[in-house]
Amino acid sequence: MNASTANRLTPYLFLAPAGVILLGALIYPIGYVIYASFLDWNPSQRIGEAAFVGLKNYKKLLGDGAFRESLWVTLKFAAVVVSAEMVLGVGLALLLDRKMRGMSILRTLFILPMMIAPIVVGLMWRYMYHPTIGIFNRTLVSLGFEPVPWLSDANWAFAAVVIADIWQWTPFIFILSLAALQSLPRSALEAARIDGATGWQTILYIKLPLMLPVLIVTMLLRLIDAFKVLEVILVMTNGGPGLATEILSLRINRTASEFRALGEAAAMSNILLMVLMSLTLAMFLYTKAMEARARAMRSQNDEEA
Amino acid sequence: MARERQNPLFYMLLVMLVIMAVGPILLMLATSLKLNVDIMSDRSSLIFMPTLRNYEAALCNLLWYEPKSVDFCDPTFGRALVNSLIICLISTVLTLVIGCMAAYALVRFRFMGRDAVSLSTLLMRMIPPAVLLVPVFGIWTFQYGIAGTRYGIILIYVAMNLPFVIWILQSFIVQVPIQLEEAARMDGAGPFQVFFLVVLPLIKPGLAAAAIFTFRIGWNEFLLANALSDRATRTVPVTIVNSLTEYNIDWGVIMATGMLLAIPPILFTFFASRQIITGMTAGAVKG
């Protein structure tokens, strides 16, 4: 083999391992899950032995009250969690966007909740919500209040799960919006100050609009992740009490491992995937549109100059 | 640089935020150092004699001495810790090597535009592990025959992390000046030498960020490890969840195991918070 063929082959050699793994362990399984959703399949069967049942799994799901409940819980969870975190995270970023010592330490401490295992986060919160030895009920009781049935009452359990998620993920929004804030053009802020804008006016009319592109992307990223939450809730409530906190990921896991209905679990996975796919595409198109607009504006400026 | 004088309220807010962020973690640490008597007692939870007994109970089969406090040694957690370490280290190294090569090829030989890679990274990021559960279980069990082994878990972790690693390394490789590589080639280096001796050393920060992300995802992952492991290959998150379903929860020991699981990510955070934040913000701010 001479040098030039070696050079021509190099890119393929470099790409081959990644290509093989992605094809065999990622793209193939995703194709497989689409096919499996049309089968009546249980875990002891090879996929070839499973009977093809067409759209039966999907029909069954749409008529299934428990599935609809779970879909509703998932949407409610994602909506509540993301809006609360956006408000808190952006608010904190606006408050803490100052020059001060120790900011990097603060940021380090804030990302800790995101870095440790969701299983451990669930564990900590389950302990804190414990009816008798948990810190919340202990404090309530010592102050003379009634203990709260954190994880055993449907409404409280949902709130408990939401609070844990807010604790874990608000820092994500905070750090991204802080980064956005600090990269805002100084000139615009200075101009606002010279024109005599108050703090609130600067925030409302200058900072927030300029941050908007980043905020939207952040929100979509967080929204996608909110649909993937599983371990924290699994450890805290395991979907209970009843179906109060059973989000779709948990239901997929239960359908596959407890009810042993792999076809149905696959159909559920596809529905979840479609929801997420539309979110992701929306996000991608949005970033592309923003880039195109920025480019157009830049070329216009160049022409004028 | 003149610092503005801050309002005392501002500092109070800061202190509260720090307490809220770190409090639950400290509470877990404190509980893991308590005897069950202290955990259950009605007394104030701040005053207690710290003890390492819970850690001894969790790690009893890995210790070089026989802890006196442990009557019966349950090796489940120790075994899981070893499994977790092996699986995460191997999958991180594999992901980095393979991802780095692919990222280099994508940048230097202009195969696919960056758009295609960012789109596939984004699509990958969107896929919940729960969606992979059914197909991966089926394929690994019946077609590849690697369910229940460490290889099976390693394979899915490598596959899951590759898109992100390729994407983040790409952004570092783009910044390596091509003149450097050309100079090396002039001096007679082959493509592999250029890659390993010139490019790799220059993108170390990117490699560190990618390594942390990959390691952490495998280390923290539960769902797929649960489906793909058997008794002997369980990872730490799986054993923690298993011990939770038992009727009587031993909070002291379980908090010690949780703490042990949390320590590596906490260490990463303290040593490499800048890289982590870069990795996190790159996704949203640069698109």
The reported pLDDT for the residue numbered B282 is 63
Query: Chain A: nearest CA to B83, how far in angstroms?
Result: 16
Please tell me which of the candidates A7, A121, A272 has its beta carbon nearest to residue B131: A272
User: B203 CB near a chain A CB, below 8 Å?
Assistant: no
Q: Which two tokens stand for residue B72?
A: 């019966």
Write the pLDDT tens digit of every residue in B159-179: 888 888 888 888 888 888 888
Q: Which residues contact B37 (CB under 8 A, 6 or more apart)?
A: none
Query: Which chain A positions have a beta carbon within 8 Å of B98's beta carbon?
Result: 17-18, 21
Q: Which residues contact B171 (CB under 8 A, 6 or more apart)?
A: B206, B282, B286
Burial class (CB in 10 A: 0-12, 13-18, 19+), B89: middle
CA separation (Å) from A80 to A66, A119, A161, A171, B148? Answer: 21, 22, 11, 16, 38
Write the pLDDT tens digit of every residue in A193-243: 888 888 788 888 888 888 887 888 888 888 888 888 888 888 888 877 878
Binary contact (B281, A179; C-beta < 8 A): yes
Nearest Cα residue to A221 out of B25, B280, B69: B280
Is position B95 within any domain? yes
Is position B100 within any domain? yes
User: B109 CB near a chain A CB, below 8 Å?
Assistant: yes
Binary contact (B131, A138; C-beta < 8 A): no
pLDDT at B62 over 80: no
Query: Which chain A positions have a beta carbon within 8 Å of B136's beta carbon?
Result: 25, 29
Other Cβ atoms less than 10 A from the Cβ of B268: the count is 20
Query: Which chain A positions have a beta carbon within 8 Å of B128's beta carbon?
Result: 227-228, 230, 249, 272, 276
Is position B60 within any domain? no
Q: Which residues contact B121 (CB under 8 A, 6 or more apart)?
A: B163, B164, B166, B167
- d(CA A34, CA A271) in angstroms, rounded, equals 10
CB contacts under 8 A, B 41-100 vs A, are 45, 98-99
Domain count, chain B: 1
* Most B CBs within 10 Å, among A4, A15, A34, to test the B interface: A15
Question: Taking the CA atoms of chain A, what radius of gyration do you get in angstroms?
Answer: 25
For the complex shown, is ipTM > 0.90? no
The reported pLDDT for the residue numbered B287 is 38
Please tell me which of the candidates A7, A253, A287 has its beta carbon nearest to residue B133: A253
pLDDT at B61 over 50: yes
The reported pLDDT for the residue numbered B2 is 42
Write the pLDDT tens digit of every residue in A119-169: 999 989 988 888 877 788 788 888 888 878 888 888 888 898 999 999 999
- Identify the CATH number of the domain defined by range A65-304: 1.10.3720.10
First to last CA, chain A: 55
Is position B194 within any domain? yes
Q: Which two tokens stand for residue B160?
A: 């899951």
Spell out the domain ranges in chain A. 65-304
- Give the mean model confidence (pLDDT) for residues B39-60: 72
- Domain span at residue B188? 82-247
User: B113 CB near a chain A CB, below 8 Å?
Assistant: no
Burial class (CB in 10 A: 0-12, 13-18, 19+), B231: exposed
Is position B56 within any domain? no
- DSSP alpha helix (H) spans, chain B: 8-32, 36-40, 53-58, 76-108, 114-126, 129-138, 150-173, 178-186, 191-193, 200-202, 204-220, 223-228, 236-244, 251-281
pLDDT at A80 over 90: yes
Query: Chain B: nearest CA to A102, how far in angstroms?
Result: 11
Please tell me which of the candidates A11, A104, A112 has its beta carbon nearest to residue B111: A11
Write the pLDDT tens digit of every residue in A42-67: 777 777 777 788 788 888 888 888 88
Secondary structure of residue A73 in the 3-state scheme: helix
- d(CA A113, CA A206) in angstroms, rounded, equals 31
Nearest Cα residue to A227 out of A165, A155, A288: A165
Q: Which residues contact B215 (CB under 8 A, 6 or more apart)?
A: B88, B89, B92, B264, B268
Burial class (CB in 10 A: 0-12, 13-18, 19+), A172: buried
- Residue A118's beta-bridge partner residues? none
* Most A CBs within 10 Å, among B45, B109, B127, to test the A interface: B127
* Residue of chain A with shortest Cα separation from B252: A127
User: B145 CB near a chain A CB, below 8 Å?
Assistant: no
Binary contact (B222, A234; C-beta < 8 A): yes
User: B251 CB near a chain A CB, below 8 Å?
Assistant: yes
Binary contact (B273, A104; C-beta < 8 A): yes
- d(CA A214, CA A208) in angstroms, rounded, equals 10
The reported pLDDT for the residue numbered A81 is 93
**Minimum mean pLDDT among A99-113, B36-50, B88-102: which range?**
B36-50
The reported pLDDT for the residue numbered B43 is 62
Query: Chain B: nearest CA to A156, how far in angstroms?
Result: 19
The reported pLDDT for the residue numbered A286 is 81
Write the pLDDT tens digit of every residue in A17-34: 888 888 888 888 888 888
Local confidence band at B247 (pLDDT 50, 70, 90 cut-offs): low
